[in-house]
Every structure is written in C-alpha cells, then in structure tokens.
Amino acid sequence: MNTAMSTPQLTIDLAALADNWRALDSLTDCETAAVVKANAYGMGAAQAVQTLVKAGARHFFVALAEEGATVRQALGPGPRISVFSGHMPGDHDLIAAHDLTPMLNSIDQMLHHVEALPGHSFGIQLDSGMNRLGMEAAEWAALREIALAQNPVLIMSHLACADEPDHPMNAAQLNNFIEMTADIGVPRSLAATGGILLGSGYHFDLTRPGVGLYGGLPFAQARSVVALDLPIIQIRDIDEGETVGYGNTWYAQRPSRIATVAAGYADGLIRAMGPRAQLFADTARCPVVGRISMDLITADVTDLAQEPQSLSILGPTQTVDDLADAAGTIGYEILTSLGARYQREYLT
Amino acid sequence: MNTAMSTPQLTIDLAALADNWRALDSLTDCETAAVVKANAYGMGAAQAVQTLVKAGARHFFVALAEEGATVRQALGPGPRISVFSGHMPGDHDLIAAHDLTPMLNSIDQMLHHVEALPGHSFGIQLDSGMNRLGMEAAEWAALREIALAQNPVLIMSHLACADEPDHPMNAAQLNNFIEMTADIGVPRSLAATGGILLGSGYHFDLTRPGVGLYGGLPFAQARSVVALDLPIIQIRDIDEGETVGYGNTWYAQRPSRIATVAAGYADGLIRAMGPRAQLFADTARCPVVGRISMDLITADVTDLAQEPQSLSILGPTQTVDDLADAAGTIGYEILTSLGARYQREYLT
C-alpha cells in the first residue's frame, strides 16, 4: 500500500532546535532567552516554546501581544514573555490577561503603560542607532529617572549590522548602549544571534537568539531544523525545444524528463527563486525549470537513474540559507514564509 | 478610548469578490466556475466560497484534496469541487468522504482512480503545451477510449501565456486542445481569467477564473478586494546622515521623520520590495526606507502634515499589482503571501 501523501511534508526537528539553544547558551556566561516571534520563525510557536522551556529557556520574546497570548497558552504561568512592539493602543487586555512584559519604545508607550497597568512588569527598548524601534537618546535622557523609579525588568536594544562582524556600526551601537545604560542597576540585553557571536562584550545579562535557534546564519554551527519534501504529481518526457511553464521562459536544450511537484509560491517558495533553485533526489540536483507557479514547481529529472516519489527542497543538502541565495533573500525570510498547506511532522 | 489595534488589519471586500465573479461571468455564454485554491488566494476559502455560491457559482477548483475537504465543509453537499492535482496516492479517503472530483493528469492517476473509486466522478486534465500538469497528447491518444467509457465530467487544459494576449502560444494551445478533444461529447474548459479575456473561442463550456475574482490583473476592470493597514508603533525624528534599519542601507538626506509600522516579511510583505515600496497616509506617499524587517517596516513620513495612527500598503491607492511591481513579482504572489498575523475583517 502506498502511504505517500499528496501534500508537501515539512519536518521540524525539535531536538535540533533544543541543541541549537544549548549551543548558543554555552557561548555566554549570562541568561539565554529565545525569540519565538512570527510563529517561532514559522516552526510553530507552541511546539517551539515547549521544547525550549525543557531545554532551559525561561524568557521568550515575541513581536506582538497577540503572539504573546499564544505563547502563554502553550507555556502556562511562569516563564517571562516579552513583547518587542511594547504596549500599543488596544493591547491592555492581552498584556494583563496573559502576564506579558512589554518592551516600551517611547514616552507615549511609557505613559500609557503606567497609567493603564500600574505596577505591571515592563522593560525598556532603547534605540542605539538603528532608528527602527526604541527610545532615542534624548527621549531616554528626559524619561530615565521616572522610568527607573517604576522598576523596569530589562533594558534592551538591537543591533543593525550584527550579521557583519567587521561592520563599524556594531561598536558604535555598543558604545551608545553602554553610555545610555551605565550604572543603571537593571538587567541589560543587546545581543540576538549575531550579537552573541560578536563576543562577550555584547552579552550583558541576557541574550535573545532567534534565527540561530532555527538553523540559520549567522550561526554557522547550527543544526538544520527544517526539512521539506515535495511530492511528485507526474513526470513527463519532452522533446528538445519544448517549453515548460508560464510565459515559456524555459525550453529544453535536449530531450528531457520533467517532474511536476505539488508546491509553489503560495506555499512560501518565493517565486523569485525560479531561475536559480534546485530540488534534490537525495543528493542529486534537479534544477527547477520554468517559472514557479502558485501550487506547482517543475524540475528537470532527466539525469536521475530512478523515478523518486518526492523531491527535497530543504534539508541537510540544501539549507535555508542556500535556498535564500537562490531567491535573492536571507534565510530568515525562507523560514517565515513556510506555508500553511504543509503536513507538519515534529521530530523529538 | 483608543480602539486602534496593535495588529495590522486586512479588510476583505466580499461584495467586490461577488461583483468580480459576476463581471467575469457576464463576459461569456458558458458556465463560470471559481478557483479557490491556496485558501482562495489568501482571502479565506470558507468566506470566499460562501460568497461565490450566493453569487451563482456551482463549481469550485482547488489544488489539493485537503483544500477540497475544507471547501466542502464550508459549502455542504451540492456544488462540484474539482482538484487540479488529480488523484494522488493517499487522497482516496478525502476524495470519497468529501465528494471531490479529481482532474486526472496521467495514465497512472487514471488507473489508480478507477481501481480505487470505481464510478466516482472525475475529470481529465490535458497538457496542451505548458508541460506542467495533465496528459500528453500521446498518452491521451492511448487512453482516450478507455477514459471516455468511464464518463468523465470535464476535460480541461491550462494556458501558459494567457496574460499576454498577443503571445502565439495562446493560439497554439487552443489548436492543440481542439485537436485533442474534437467530437468528444464531454464538457470542456480551457480558460482561467486570462483566457476569458482572450475571447469566446477560448471559453468552451466552462471557465475557471481565479486571480480576477480577487482583484488582480489581467482583469483590469476588477474591483479591489483587499485593503491592508499597518499600525504605527512610533515615529522618530532623525538628523541628516543618520541610517535606518538593518545593514545601514538607507541614510537621511535631510532631517527626517521616520514611522515604524508593525508588519514585515513574516506577514508576507516580500523583503525584496523594500527599496521601491510605498506606504500611504490616505493618498500621500510615504516611501519605505531601509530594509524590511521580519515584523517591522520603516517609512519616511516627513512630509505629512499630521501624524496618522496607521499607514496603508494595499487598497484603492496601491493595488496588489502596484505592490507586485515594487517587489518584482506578480499580484498573485502578493495575494497568496498575505500573512497569518493580520486581523481579518470581511465586508459583505
């Protein structure tokens, strides 16, 4: 009996996720949190946080209060769940009900939080130069004494160029962060995955790894967490000169065998990767031919000795960063784009 | 009391969806089905099919059997639900339980279907030149008499270049389809949205519009179905020469005001659009500055007279095809990438 399924299979290795957390934790002498925003970078927030809490994580970060509510439901009471976007209008009920800790980004958010939820835990996000999220130096100088009197649980900032160790922005942001937080008596955090790898000067009291947990660069030693196999719908023989796919963008330069697999850009396999992407039968390369369709991809399987039932697009042979190169993007986007139609299997 | 929410708001105009179906239906004298694969191009399959069945659609197409099951649960018994990927190994139970009609793509699928579900409805997909999905001419010639004896309910094919009306591939595929199906006595279908616009010679007995229903090209007369508003987390003033975002890719050429909004590539706002995308405050353009982050986008709001609470990225001012141009892709991918974190509101 054939047990192959008609839907692509996404396999998520939770043991590798836990190993990656422990490996990043071992690089520092401080506390190691875990960033689980965007549904744990597409891996599934509930499964990820339950794995990470067993590995030893006690502090989780999300982007939005709604995500924090999901994580709290998976974790139960106890671990701290912090929200990068801070305390936004309308977040009051979620923050209170799920014991979330907003990272306040502005004087407006600070005033709003203290008025709406006096005594409720909060942290402060400072902007040390990225100009994206957090209080500016002048804003912080004006607010600092008032804010510290309210007992923030964490002061944090975020690096703009940590994936490039030699970028002068790293030292500049480090200096700004130290200047803004000297002698402050509150736990501090600056480093995500890239910052951990920059060395102990960037670690402070808590690190916040994200992409490295999920097997992505810049943590080159990460274990691969995700594998994605795409079932073949059919294989056809075509003559030299025949075209394949939308817009007739590819034609066969020799008699060819073309496999059509059941996944496409609606599954997060970014359309732009078409001309450079490869599928794999074990370690044998099968170049994508023609445009990636919404639900279908065509690949050249002419050189395979046997007809497989599926082809791999992510796994040990082709990492999220390899596929990102083909798509002209970064591994982070490959991970967070992984689609809703996959059958998900978790390895523990 | 401030009722603004901290999550982006995706508004889906179901009345516009129904209008688009009726408008496409009015262009032909044959039956008009509706393609609702990929969660109705990201709009929500259940809401879409319930709207379209009220508008008059009686035949729905999905990519995978799993999607067909979802659509059947939303529709109940009656309307036909056809599956483009055909009858794949493992699909037996779903096809039987949810009364799905597979479009068989190969001799293998035909033999498997007739053996596994004798008497169960099916259609046949022919490949008329796209070399992606469906039986080849030679395969079909060998199978034709056997297949017709099993009473297929539809014979279909798909056009590779219908979005380019002058492309010679259109007439070539039309001729192939006519040759393969002459005097066949079974309802035939060749046209999706683009094919409808190619004229009555392409319409046959049933059309299968997809993207045009959801407001995308090539149906230029489509009503816009989707609007997406992104809440502002904070606005900051920066000096001339300061950088914004990851990698320091943008710097201010004048003193600037920068708004940070709560959405990013994890929400399907494709990272590649960064250098060319615009957000809007009503009709005022706010260029995206710096790289698009996973959960955040920064935009230049220096020239706005007032501080808005949110900025629009999709709506009447910027369509899915406008945004696709900025991202170097097609409107289809903008639609199917729309993310899971949005608060979805349906207008009826």
If asked whether residues A199 and A283 sit together in one domain, one would say no
If asked whether residues B278 and B200 sit together in one domain, one would say no
Amino acid at residue number A335: L
| Strand-strand pairing, A284-287 and B80-83 | unpaired
* Chain-centroid distance, C-alpha A280: 24
Count: domains in chain A = 2
Q: In this structure, what token pair is assigned to residue A175? A: 């200096």
Confidence of residue A5 (pLDDT cuts 50, 70, 90): low
- In this predicted structure, the answer to whether residue B275 has a pLDDT above a threshold of 80 is yes
Amino acid at residue number A273: M
A258 CB neighbours in chain B (<8 A) are: 131
If asked whether residues B58 and B110 sit together in one domain, one would say yes
Secondary structure of A26-72 as H, E, C letters: CCCCCEECEECHHHHHCCCHHHHHHHHHHHCCCEEEECCHHHHHHHH
Which one from A214, A246, A251, A342 is the annotated catalytic residue? A246
**Do the beta carbons of residue A211 and residue A20 sit within 8 Å?**
no
Q: In this structure, what token pair is assigned to residue B342? A: 């949005």
Out of B64, B84, B298, the one facing A132 most closely (by C-beta) is B298
Q: What are phi and psi of A26, to 5 degrees?
A: -70, -15
| Average pLDDT of span B155-173 | 98
- A6–B248 CB contact, under 8 Å: no
- In this predicted structure, the answer to whether residue B1 has a pLDDT above a threshold of 70 is no
If asked whether residues B169 and B272 sit together in one domain, one would say no
Chains A and B form CB pairs within 8 A to the count of 230
Give the three-state DSSP class for A199: coil
To test the contact with chain B by mutation, choose from A37, A128, A131 the residue with the greatest count of B C-beta atoms within 10 A, namely A131
- B37–A295 CB contact, under 8 Å: yes
Q: In this structure, what token pair is assigned to residue A22? A: 């422990």
Q: Given the structure tokens 């997909």, which residue do they identify?
A: B125
A136 CB neighbours in chain B (<8 A) are: 236-237
To test the contact with chain A by mutation, choose from B233, B257, B270, B332 the residue with the greatest count of A C-beta atoms within 10 A, namely B233
> Is B7 part of any domain?
no
User: CB-hemisphere CA count at 13 Å for B291?
Assistant: 15
Residue where a domain stops, chosen among A154, A187, A214:
A214
ipTM confidence score: 0.96
B246 is an active site residue: yes
| Average pLDDT of span A311-339 | 96
How distant, in Å, are the alpha carbons of A196, A247, A248, A253, B125 from that of B168?
Answer: 57, 11, 11, 21, 22
If asked whether residues A269 and A165 sit together in one domain, one would say no
- In this predicted structure, the answer to whether residue A272 has a pLDDT above a threshold of 90 is yes
pLDDT attached to residue B6: 80
pLDDT attached to residue B2: 34
B37 is an active site residue: yes
Residue where a domain stops, chosen among B181, B214, B247:
B214
If asked whether residues B121 and B262 sit together in one domain, one would say no
Q: Given the structure tokens 């993310």, which residue do they identify?
A: B339
Q: In this structure, what token pair is assigned to residue A327? A: 């798509």
**Do the beta carbons of residue B274 and residue B292 sit within 8 Å?**
yes
If asked whether residues A190 and A235 sit together in one domain, one would say no
Strand partners, B235: B259
| Average pLDDT of span B228-237 | 97
**Do the beta carbons of residue B210 and residue B35 sit within 8 Å?**
yes
3-state helix, strand, coil in chain A (%, to 5): 35, 25, 45
If asked whether residues B166 and B260 sit together in one domain, one would say no
> Is A13 part of any domain?
no
pLDDT attached to residue A2: 34
Confidence of residue A4 (pLDDT cuts 50, 70, 90): very low
CATH number at B189 reads 3.20.20.10
Q: Which helix (H) or strand (E) holds B104?
A: strand B100-104
- In this predicted structure, the answer to whether residue A184 has a pLDDT above a threshold of 50 is yes
Give the three-state DSSP class for A299: strand
CA atoms of B257 and B111, how far apart (whole Å): 65
B213-227 pLDDT, tens digit each: 999 999 999 999 999
Residue A3 CB-density burial (10 A; 0-12 exposed, 13-18 middle, 19+ buried): exposed
CA atoms of A158 and A133, how far apart (whole Å): 8
> Is B221 part of any domain?
no
> Is B240 part of any domain?
yes
| Average pLDDT of span B308-319 | 96
> Is B28 part of any domain?
no
- In this predicted structure, the answer to whether residue A137 has a pLDDT above a threshold of 90 is yes
B24-42 pLDDT, tens digit each: 999 999 999 999 999 999 9
Which one from B37, B41, B214, B332 is the annotated catalytic residue? B37
pLDDT attached to residue A3: 39
Confidence of residue B4 (pLDDT cuts 50, 70, 90): very low
If asked whether residues B248 and B101 sit together in one domain, one would say no
CA atoms of A184 and A181, how far apart (whole Å): 6
Q: What are phi and psi of B266, to 5 degrees?
A: -70, -15
If asked whether residues B295 and B272 sit together in one domain, one would say yes
How distant, in Å, are the alpha carbons of A14, A144, B228, B238 from that of A141?
Answer: 43, 5, 36, 16
CATH number at B231 reads 2.40.37.10
Q: For chain B, what percent of residues have pLDDT higher than 70? A: 99
If asked whether residues B288 and B195 sit together in one domain, one would say no
Q: Where are the beta strands (DSSP E) in chain A?
A: 9-13, 31-32, 34-35, 59-62, 80-83, 100-104, 123-125, 155-156, 188-189, 206-207, 226-238, 243-244, 250-251, 256-261, 278-281, 284-287, 297-300, 310-314, 343-347
CA atoms of A79 and B131, how far apart (whole Å): 53
Which one from B41, B54, B246, B346 is the annotated catalytic residue? B246
Residue B287 CB-density burial (10 A; 0-12 exposed, 13-18 middle, 19+ buried): middle
A28 Cβ contact list (under 8 Å, min separation 6) = A196, A200, A203, A207
- A6–B293 CB contact, under 8 Å: no
pLDDT attached to residue A6: 80
Confidence of residue A1 (pLDDT cuts 50, 70, 90): very low
Out of A65, A90, A133, the one facing B260 most closely (by C-beta) is A133
B247 CB neighbours in chain A (<8 A) are: 160-161, 163-164
| Average pLDDT of span A223-229 | 97
- A294–B38 CB contact, under 8 Å: yes
A248-262 pLDDT, tens digit each: 999 999 999 999 999
If asked whether residues B151 and B209 sit together in one domain, one would say yes
pLDDT attached to residue B229: 98
Q: In this structure, what token pair is assigned to residue B323? A: 């945004």
> Domain residues for B137?
33-214
**Do the beta carbons of residue B57 and residue B206 sit within 8 Å?**
no
Confidence of residue B5 (pLDDT cuts 50, 70, 90): low
A57 to chain B nearest CA, in Å? 22
Q: What is the pTM (predicted TM-score) of this model?
A: 0.96
How distant, in Å, are the alpha carbons of B36, B61, B176 from that of B82?
Answer: 10, 5, 23
> Is A296 part of any domain?
yes
B333 CB neighbours in chain A (<8 A) are: 265, 270-271, 294
> Is B14 part of any domain?
no
Strand partners, A34: A60
How distant, in Å, are the alpha carbons of A145, B10, B296, B314 from that of A45?
Answer: 36, 22, 19, 28
B149 to chain A nearest CA, in Å? 23
A74-133 pLDDT, tens digit each: 999 999 999 999 999 999 999 999 999 999 999 999 999 999 999 999 999 999 999 999
> Is B161 part of any domain?
yes
- A131–B271 CB contact, under 8 Å: no
Residue where a domain stops, chosen among B214, B240, B264:
B214
